[in-house]
A and B are shown apart, each in its own frame.
Chain A
């Protein structure tokens, strides 16, 4: 039973566990940062499809968000983590009958989190799209920009500025959702805290440390986003 000094357990080195948890925190950050650009890109295109004039595009985008916002994150993760290897195995068996396929838990987590993040981000982008007046598009077309160029040069810069506060919320829930990937064996913060708690029997201590790591990440990102918001505001003022 618990007898060791907790300061030894919380030290850096072979006896302590803080280095493991710090390494896990790095994996958490890497997973969230790797998910972010993919999720933002998909989310933007889904939102673009949702506000298009073409009904079939709208339908496809709505099915996407309904499915990925309706499924629990854990179910999506398990379906992907266990389902995709089975699917791939069936395909690969045609070529190499003895092949087995394992999905890397980091990659699985990244894909699943991008699907979930993008479906929430698309709602934020959609309301930002609606806040941009039609004249902005018309102005872009009037000076001879193509559809794509109008979107990239005229709409997107304004869109990002409007969507920023909403995307901050999506980012915070993405940070929290990364903890779910520990369930399929990715050695991130929570997983390493779990190992430490198992070995040392100091469960409350190590889960408390894990909670503090997530809290710290949330605080750091709120500082970062307010700095970005300030610089955006400054550029707005300069125009």
Chain B
């Protein structure tokens, strides 16, 4: 026992004095501290009770718009991603080609272009849409944002789903088949529970990306969090409009990131040794 204890590898002793890396590190941390203090002192110095009273409720409303946009499009995207992922994995050449093109288009072009294509572009087909009765839906910028975001996230989520399902070894399918489960049962009871553990982190990343990307809808006149900030800045020329909004986004993203990490720790507890 004592012998093994003697040859246990210990971490190297901490460097003493002031090696170059420590000087640089302290300088960098000092820079960040100064930067943070600068922002805090600016916000205190520029504290304007009138500004706050005027725009804080608007920001809250904008936050609600952002959250509902992200939630609705994530859910719609998740529903839409199932057939796309099915197409990607299908052995039918036509289906898989179609799904591949869908995914390639939505992952290969900027979300801003897709949003413009829906919001401004569909206006070119106004008479056609009016005859179908869809114009009232696409007249609203929020609906257009949800439409474009759902299509976009469906492409990403389909890839996540496909990757996760393909990460489950083939023996699991064969084992289930030999037990007499049919395909849907296998998928639901055997494959998905294992696949979703793999997919959790990518799904979390996708959610975070959507929260960040949702700022784009401010450009097509939706008053989400960013839209309210734009409005506040246009009215007041006060840069704190953007600083506050940056802080809110940062806090939101950090909460989501740590939440996903916490869930992942919880559901992989049986895999730890």
Contacts and interface: CB of A to CB of B under 8 A. Distances in A.
Interface residues of B, number: 52
B125 interface: yes
Contacts of A211: 105, 109, 113-114, 117
Given A60-B25, A71-B250, A208-B117, A179 B110 contact: yes
Contact of B108 (A201, A210, A214): A214
B219 A75 contact: no
Given A54-B21, A176-B110, A197 B239 contact: no
Interface residue range, chain A? 35 or more
B25 A215 contact: no
A60 B28 contact: yes
Interface in A164-199: 172, 176-180, 182-183, 190, 193-194, 197
A60 B27 CA distance: 9
Contact of B120 (A66, A82, A86, A207): A207
B212 interface: yes
- Residue among B122, B124, B213, B218 with most chain A CB within 10 A: B124
B26 interface: yes
B32 interface: yes
A195 to B, nearest CB: 12
Contacts of A54: 15, 19, 21-22, 25
Contacts of A76: 246
Task: Say whether chain A's binding surface is mostly helix, strand, loop, or mixed.
Answer: helix
Contact of B28 (A2, A56, A176): A56
Contacts of A172: 108
B235 to A, nearest CB: 14
- Residue among A55, A83, A210, A211 with most chain B CB within 10 A: A211
B28 A75 contact: no
A203 B218 CA distance: 19
Interface in B113-141: 113-114, 116-117, 120-125
B29 A74 contact: no
Given A71-B249, A190-B112, A60 B29 contact: yes
B114 A179 contact: no
A182 B112 CA distance: 10
B24 interface: yes
B113 A210 contact: yes
Nearest to B246: A75
B66 to A, nearest CB: 10
Given A66-B254, A67-B250, A75-B242, A176 B22 contact: no
Contact of B21 (A57, A180, A219): A57
Contact of B254 (A70, A183, A210): A70
B29 A75 contact: no
B139 to A, nearest CB: 14
Contacts of B257: 70
Contact of B26 (A56, A70, A83, A180): A56
B225 to A, nearest CB: 9
B151 to A, nearest CB: 12
- Residue among A57, A74, A197 with most chain B CB within 10 A: A74
B212 A183 contact: no
B41 to A, nearest CB: 13
B246 A207 contact: no
Contacts of B122: 204
B117 A75 contact: no
B108 A218 contact: yes
Contacts of B176: none
A64 to B, nearest CB: 8
| Top-7 shortest CB links A-B | A56-B25, A60-B28, A57-B25, A204-B121, A179-B110, A72-B215, A72-B212
Interface of B: 12, 14-15, 19, 21-22, 24-26, 28-29, 31-32, 104-105, 108-114, 116-117, 120-125, 211-216, 218-219, 226, 229-230, 233, 239, 242-243, 245-246, 249-250, 253-254, 257
